[in-house]
Amino acid sequence: MLQMKKDIGGIDHLCEVDRLAALHSTGILDTAPESGYDAITRLAAEYFQVDTAVLCFADESRIWIKSHWGKTVRELPRKNSIFDMVLAEDGPVVVPDISLHPQFAVLALRLKCFDAVFLASVPVRSFDGKILGILILLCQEPRAGLEPEEICTLENLADMVANQLELRRLRKSFSEQGERRLLPAVAPDEVWPSKADLKHALDERQFVLYYQPEIDLLTRRIIGLEALIRWVHPERGVIQPMDFIPQAEQNGLILPIGDWVLSEACKQIQQWSQEDPCYGALRVGVNLSARQFSRIGLADHIEVLLFEFGVSSSQLGIEITESSLIPNIGAAMEVLSCLRRLGISLLMDDFGTGYSSLSYLHSFPFDVLKIDRSFVGRMIEGDQPLQIVRTIIELARVLGMDVVAEGIETREQYNLLLQLGCRFGQGYLFARPMSVEAISSLLRLPGCILPYPESDEVTRF
């Protein structure tokens, strides 16, 4: 086994920024599998006679599986991963038998999804030496470590990947230069935030999660929480997601930001459960973007996060808008089925605003419909809006789903929803989205029951 030169977590921040810049310049992330890489992993698996060979690249939060040969593999979170081990070593890492080495306990837990005992990994470098990815050999049985000449052979295979990456980078660079010549000049201050602004916010941990309670309308007991991202900018103050999420979608940062939200929510669930076991019954809902939802390996990634933080699948809910499902119904069904098998609650967010409502709803394995706030807000304006809400509630009842009404802001809306038989809701009438500290104070109320709103004034929360 090769000994580690430094702690796995001791990655230099500035070096990591440069590494990620080199990685993104290749355009390798979030792309379809390519046969050229499959040929390399197949050659590695056959030459070394191992069960599986994997080629992967690591961004800010996740290890992307780009190609594998042999047993099907899963995505992994970046933290304490084999990639971080190779990065810390700045070279090959060989572990003949993971089970015999306590210092690799975290790695062994993660590799359960590979069912591996032996592993060997070498870095895939850019032409200026930055580690962009790794080539891994995995075997289900312990075996002797690799000889120096064998490691050299594995590194040669990694160099073949590096050569393809450099060609990709050059093609991408030439293409972008041509596009820039065709595009009109845009003043730097016309678009904010830029990709660099969002990347800096992620690196400097400027994002935070706020939480808004979901309550049982009959008892006013808190039964769940919706996690909502905020950007605490040092100069601009608290920035709402509508002011930066669209830009994150456009410039490719929605995946690392979304992964941070999932990880942070699981971490917070763990902390609340440790504070009081009763909080373990709460479900925390996390919103997924269409880009996140369409990602291969989403369910595997969430499963590893649940395992890492010791969180029950029943404590996590995934909220998805109707529009996220439509581009590829077949893929959507597969992702939803995988999440459902994990035991995660599935919530259709903003129900009624899309166009899949009646055509596909009976086919999707959702547990909860969330009535869009626009319908709740118009209930008192006439009979037709009221009938829409009544129809949604009845539809959910027939399909065996719960209903959460969003955007409850007045006692009149509250009373109407009770009369219509809506069991759950959330809105400013009860509590605004709030910090972890503030929501923790609400959870400490006797029985987690919010006081009856004496008026439509909601600022006291």
Co-location of 109 and 233 in the same domain: no
Greater confidence, 347 or 321? 347
Co-location of 134 and 228 in the same domain: no
Co-location of 164 and 297 in the same domain: no
pLDDT digits (tens, 9 = 90+) for 93-111: 998 887 776 556 556 555 5
Instruction: Please enumerate in sequence order all residues whose Cβ is within 8 A of that of 307, keeping only pairs 6 or more positions apart, or say none.
Output: 109
Co-location of 271 and 420 in the same domain: yes
Residue 139, domain member (yes or no) = yes
User: With pLDDT > 90 as the criterion, what percentage of the chain qualifies?
Assistant: 47
- 5 band by pLDDT with thresholds 50, 70 and 90: very low
Domain count within the chain: 2
Task: Give residue 210's pLDDT.
Answer: 97
Co-location of 23 and 152 in the same domain: yes
What CATH number is associated with residue 321? 3.20.20.450
- 63 band by pLDDT with thresholds 50, 70 and 90: confident
Residue 200, domain member (yes or no) = no
Residue 359, domain member (yes or no) = yes
Residue 358, domain member (yes or no) = yes
Q: Which domain holds residue 416?
A: 206-448
Co-location of 247 and 153 in the same domain: no
Residue 185, domain member (yes or no) = no
What CATH number is associated with residue 18? 3.30.450.40
Task: Give residue 64's pLDDT.
Answer: 83
Co-location of 223 and 162 in the same domain: no
Residue type, 17: V
- 292 band by pLDDT with thresholds 50, 70 and 90: confident
Co-location of 259 and 124 in the same domain: no
pLDDT digits (tens, 9 = 90+) for 165-178: 888 888 877 776 66
On average, the pLDDT of the chain sits at 85
